[in-house]
Each structure stands twice: as structure tokens, then as C-alpha cells.
Amino acid sequence: MGKQQQPKPTFVETTAYQEKNADIIAKAQEGDRRAQYQLYQDYASAMFHTALRLMGRNEEAEEALQDAFLQAFRKLGEYRGEAAFGAWLKRIVVRTCLNALQKKQWEWSPLPPASLQIAEESEKDQDALILQVQKVQNAVQQLPDGFRLVLSLYLFEGYDHEEIADILQISASTSKSQYSRAKKKLREILTVR
């Protein structure tokens, strides 16, 4: 009796991660438009917030998000499940935003020396806390593109300075100095208000 050739394992069988939406991903990889739309519905909100933090403006973030999803759907066949789908998609969103910003020819801006401090706020008053969070979010949006990028990638997206250096094609020390300058500029914006 000859050995029968086993069918090639599918994505669902080979993935190291047993994601709850593995069936949807597999269907989307086969070109199922409903599955692709479901993935969009599941991930668009979180990816929009990532794009907004990097781009700084709603319209630009929405445009980058749409471009990122188009790229992701074109490359969906390359997704092998070696990382969580959200992480794979987030990397595409970050790269798309960086490419869009590079097209705008953003620059690394030097900061004048400043030693301003952010006043400590009481966390007892929930309304005051919400106002402070909104104030910080607005201040982050006012940062120059280069500062906002490094600050967002480091604080909000969880990349370290070596990873940021690789993504932005700068040195790790430049990433660290831009992060430091971004924090100083953020303090300056917050104290002026």
C-alpha cells in the first residue's frame, strides 16, 4: 500500500496563534469579500486611533487607514499567522502613515532649551481628569510631525528606540533625543494653556 500524500495544511492548522477569528482570516485570504469586510469592522477603530496618533489630523488618518487596509487586503495571502493578525495589520498601518508623512517631507525640528514642568493634577475629580486627558491629547496633536511620530511610536504603540530607529531609518540616539525633545515641547504646550 502506497503512502497517500497528505493535503497541505491550511492557515488555521499551521498558525502558532489560535485567534478567535482564524476562520474569518482564512476566508478573507481566499477572497471572500464579506470576510474582508468583517476584518475591517473588527480592526478599523483600533487602527484608526493608531493612524490618528501618527498623522495628527482626522482626514489624514482616515486616508492612511484606507490605504493601509487596501495594502493589507492585497498582501493578505502573505499573512502566515506567525504573529497576531492585529499586530501584522498594525505594522502595515504604521508603515503607511510613515510613508504618507515622508511624502509631506516632515522634518526633525530642533527645540529651544526649555525647562517647564507639567503641574500635577488631582485624580480625585473624574471630570478634571477627563479634561486633562483631552488637554494632553490636543497637545500631542500640536507637536511637529517628527516629535509626534517618535512620541507616539514609543509611548502609545510600544516600540523601543531600536525599533523606532529601524522604522524611521534614523539612529537610536536620534530617536531618544527626539523623544526627549517631544516631551519638553509637550510640557511647553501644556503650560502655555
What pLDDT, in 10s, does the model give residues 80-121? 877 888 889 998 999 898 888 877 754 444 444 433 333 344
- The 10 Å CB-count burial string (b at 16+, else e) for 60-69 is bbebbbebbb
pLDDT at 127: 56
Percentage of the residues of the chain whose pLDDT score is greater than 70: 74
Looking at the chain, the number of H-run helices and the number of E-run strands are: 9, 0
What pLDDT was estimated at residue 126? 56
Looking at the predicted structure, is the pLDDT value of residue 193 above 70?
Answer: no
> pLDDT of 154-165, one tens digit each?
888 888 888 888
Considering only CA atoms, give the Rg of the chain: 21
Residue 70 in this model has a pLDDT that exceeds 50: yes
